[in-house]
Chains A and B, each alone.
Chain A
Amino acid sequence: AQSVAQPEDQVNVAEGNPLTVKCTYSVSGNPYLFWYVQYPNRGLQFLLKYITGDNLVKGSYGFEAEFNKSQTSFHLKKPSALVSDSALYFCAVTKKWDKIIFGKGTRLHILP
Chain B
Amino acid sequence: AQKVTQAQTEISVVEKEDVTLDCVYETRDTTYYLFWYKQPPSGELVFLIRRNSFDEQNEISGRYSWNFQKSTSSFNFTITASQVVDSAVYFCALSGIQGAQKLVFGQGTRLTINP
Is the pairing of A and B real?
A: no
Chain B residues proximal to chain A, CB less than 8 Å: none
Chain A residues proximal to chain B, CB less than 8 Å: none
